[in-house]
Structure 1
Amino acid sequence: MTNTGAPAPFDAVLFLSFGGPDGPDEVMPFLENVTRGRGVPRDRLEAVAEHYLHFGGVSPINRLNLDMIDSLRTALRTRGHDLPVYFGNRNWQPMIEDALARMYRDGHRRILVFPTSAWGGYSGCRQYHEDISRAVSALGRLEPASVDDPVLLRKLPQYWDAAAMIEAGADAVARARAALPPGQVEPRLVFTAHSVPTAADRASGPAAGGGGLYSAQVHAAATSVARRAGYTEFDQVWQSRSGPPQVPWLEPDICDHLEALAAQGITQVIVYPVGFISDHLEVIWDLDNEAAELAGKLGIDYVRADTVGTDSRFVELIVDLIETYADGDGDRTAMGCGDNGAICRPECCVPTARPRRTPVAPAAH
């Protein structure tokens, strides 16, 4: 929803994320919720569920989000902002619909929304707008008075290129480098992000030089982090792909790339998950388990750099975004997915049709 009237201050913040289970009994219901309407086979859901059950059925994203929210509340108070912060999710408790109803009952009518995705693309940008619209529609049923006393929500813009993100990432790479044993050559720096079908990348919007907006943003962020960390060369790879093998996804996969590096005689690797702001299940399963185990078998000294959500500068970045728009104004001239508050342009972040007979499997968080 876009503010088209006279600017007025916002009075609350909604921290909006993906969601994840908090125990074994929640794993399958959560995955069923994520994949509702997509026709994902039960056996595929059970395979993904095993990744969660390996960690007791608990997704790390919930605790990390709550830690960030606590830090955000403190940082807002420190800067003199009396803005309460609420927590909502797309796919699991607390659901965004319930969070918005609570905010409405608490008297909030103008709400800034911080999404835990820094990127363009359907699931990283447009779908958050859809989450907001769905919650506003549900509010009319949950709180009938809202029909005559409406709320306004504004999604904060993408932040993948923010200086704090780049600085925190570069420092994470430096800490990872220090954790490796001394070597005769510089370790290979490898950036990862969540893979998507190449069609979905193209649908995220056109990028200069070809390709899609999402992959271009990831590459640009990786380039900035590498340069700040003092690296002139790096590799960009992908992780967590799912779905039928005949559907092309962004490549190469992190594990395939580790095998290629071993064949080249590379013995030390730093992996930085630039595409994730916190340790989703994909990070701790795909990188800290599968990739780390493979690296050990290949004789590679392997270290995974921290995600930026543990860095205090990331919370300060959220406060900076809030300060920019909290007075009800802000930059309305930015185009495309960086646009503050407006739904993406027609050609940006478009969802792609999913195959019916061989459906795409769920991503874990």
Structure 2
Amino acid sequence: MTTYDAILLSSFGGPEGQDDVIPFLRNVTRGRGIPDERLEEVAHHYRHHGGVSPINEQNRQLKAALEAELARRGIDLPIHWGNRNWQPYFTDAVLEAHEAGHDRLLALVTSAYTSYSGVGQYREDFERALAENGLTGTMSIDRVREYFDHPGFVTPLVEGVEAAVAELTGGSAASTEAGADAVAREDVHLLFVTHSIPSAAAEASGPQFGKGGAYVAQHCALAHAISEVEARDAGEAVADIPWSLVYQSRSGDPRTPWLEPDINDAIADLAVDGHTKAVVIVPFGFVSDHMEVMWDLDNEALTTAAENGLRALRVPTPGTHPAFVSGLVDLIEERLNDVPSDQRPHVTELGPWPDHDPVGTRREKVAAR
């Protein structure tokens, strides 16, 4: 049985007012020498929403939901919350934990997949937070495994896909109330969308998985699994619904190859082929409806679909869905009880993803009582 003193809810962070936007974007792009005038090109996404990213409030809600579920299960572990790019920063969260006597932390990272930003960069963040507080030899930070194919993460997405297909094809109360013409199932296309990253970074995430590395392999495996579950639950005809893996939010030097196709290009191509009348946008690369979901999908992608004469619905992200919250606590218990790999739940052939080595001192173990 592995002992921990507390949970570290670990996230990206976001601005909470107009004055925060440029300082936040400087944090996100630190070390790249990007001038403020270029940052302002991205800032308008946040300024459109009053300078407030929804991600911090979503993390407050997630923290409260996790605390309630831990209490329900009788797990006495407090939660400290830290961000990479905005308050509360990891450095502050780690110090807060130490001052409370919590020196063995288990991190819940709000990133489900394997990539530098989702794994390696968080590890560097943890190492830096310990070092800046002089706690490298005193504290340790473990993290739960990547949970891209854990049932708790997958269930809300499956439910969202089923609901969207039913609404588009006239099989739900929502479609009846909306009064929109139903489309045939064979005229629907599922667009599984995630954040684009440089192609080289994708390859580095796990070269043994072939082109695109572990990052692409995980997304492809999950898209296939979701489409199969949706097909079994909603009827045999749904098995014929085609799907594509697409990307969003590319940035940086346009000369650098990034993962493609962009979702807007994919939507335009589907409109041209003449076989698609509606698309279901599945933002399965994200755990909550943060700014890139709200702007890049709810604004740009839905606009692209409308301009191309396609109906479009966007599936909700897991957020604080009860299954997701319960699944995250399952992952905590998995580490507390050193659950063997062959007993860890997963819905793809790639899972369960292995654990990572802790940051800081070696973790301590005690005999199970």
Which residue does 1:109 correspond to in 2? Answer: 103
Among 243, 255, 273, the alignment partner of 2:264 is 255
Mapped to 2, the partners of 1:189 and 1:204 lie a distance apart of 26
Among 172, 191, 194, the alignment partner of 2:160 is 172
Judged with a 3 Å threshold, the aligned counterparts in structure 2 of structure 1 residues 292 and 127 are, in CA distance, closer, same or farther, namely: same
Which residue does 2:355 correspond to in 1? Answer: 340
The SS at the match of 2:13 is coil
The alpha-carbon deviation at position 271 of structure 1 amounts to 0.4
Mapped to 2, the partners of 1:41 and 1:147 lie a distance apart of 34
The alpha-carbon deviation at position 168 of structure 1 amounts to 1.8
Among 234, 251, 265, the alignment partner of 2:243 is 234
Q: Describe how 1:117-196 pairs up with structure 2 within 5 A.
A: 117-140=111-134, 146=135, 150-180=138-168, 181=180, 182-186=182-186, 187-196=188-197
Which residue does 2:61 correspond to in 1? Answer: 67
Among 320, 326, 331, the alignment partner of 2:330 is 320
Give CA deviations for 1:228-248 in whole Å, capped at 9, x if unaligned: 111543111100001222111
Mapped to 2, the partners of 1:302 and 1:275 lie a distance apart of 18
Give CA deviations for 1:81-109 in whole Å, capped at 9, x if unaligned: 01111110011100011011011111111
Which residue does 1:348 correspond to in 2? Answer: none
The alpha-carbon deviation at position 166 of structure 1 amounts to 2.0
Judged with a 3 Å threshold, the aligned counterparts in structure 2 of structure 1 residues 207 and 234 are, in CA distance, closer, same or farther, namely: farther
Give CA deviations for 1:53-94 in whole Å, capped at 9, x if unaligned: 011111111111111110000000000101111110011100
Aligned length: 331
Give CA deviations for 1:12-59 in whole Å, capped at 9, x if unaligned: 101000000011110000001111111123332010001110111111
Asked if the contact 1:121/1:214 (under 8 Å) is kept, the reply is yes
Judged with a 3 Å threshold, the aligned counterparts in structure 2 of structure 1 residues 66 and 300 are, in CA distance, closer, same or farther, namely: same
Q: Which runs of 5+ in 1 are unaligned?
A: 1-6, 141-145, 345-365
The alpha-carbon deviation at position 338 of structure 1 amounts to 3.8
Judged with a 3 Å threshold, the aligned counterparts in structure 2 of structure 1 residues 8 and 205 are, in CA distance, closer, same or farther, namely: closer
Range with greater deviation from structure 2 (223-232 or 211-220): 223-232
Asked if the contact 1:165/1:314 (under 8 Å) is kept, the reply is yes
Range with greater deviation from structure 2 (112-121 or 202-211): 202-211
Q: State the percentage of identical aligned residues.
A: 44
Aligned AA (1:285): W
The alpha-carbon deviation at position 330 of structure 1 amounts to 5.1
Give CA deviations for 1:88-139 in whole Å, capped at 9, x if unaligned: 0011100011011011111111111110001111001111111111111122
Q: Which runs of 5+ in 2 are unaligned?
A: 169-179, 232-237, 345-349, 360-369
Which residue does 1:223 correspond to in 2? Answer: 224
Range with greater deviation from structure 2 (301-310 or 74-83): 301-310
Mapped to 1, the partners of 2:341 and 2:136 lie a distance apart of 27
CA RMSD of aligned residues (A): 2.2
Aligned AA (2:58): L
The SS at the match of 1:113 is strand
| Structure 1 residue 92 corresponds to structure 2 residue 92 | no
The alpha-carbon deviation at position 336 of structure 1 amounts to 12
The SS at the match of 1:235 is strand
Aligned AA (1:67): Q
Asked if the contact 1:332/1:340 (under 8 Å) is kept, the reply is no
Mapped to 2, the partners of 1:163 and 1:17 lie a distance apart of 21
The SS at the match of 1:310 is coil
Mapped to 1, the partners of 2:339 and 2:154 lie a distance apart of 23
TM-score by length of structure 2 reads: 0.85
Aligned AA (1:39): G
Aligned AA (1:208): F
The alpha-carbon deviation at position 210 of structure 1 amounts to 3.4
Which residue does 1:301 correspond to in 2? Answer: 311
Give CA deviations for 1:260-318 in whole Å, capped at 9, x if unaligned: 01101222110001101111211110100011111111111110000012311000111
Asked if the contact 2:142/2:358 (under 8 Å) is kept, the reply is no
Mapped to 2, the partners of 1:34 and 1:243 lie a distance apart of 12
The SS at the match of 1:160 is coil
Range with greater deviation from structure 2 (206-215 or 24-33): 206-215
Mapped to 1, the partners of 2:24 and 2:325 lie a distance apart of 28
The alpha-carbon deviation at position 340 of structure 1 amounts to 2.0
Mapped to 2, the partners of 1:44 and 1:331 lie a distance apart of 49
Range with greater deviation from structure 2 (228-237 or 211-220): 228-237
Which residue does 1:310 correspond to in 2? Answer: 320
The alpha-carbon deviation at position 325 of structure 1 amounts to 1.2
Asked if the contact 1:28/1:45 (under 8 Å) is kept, the reply is yes
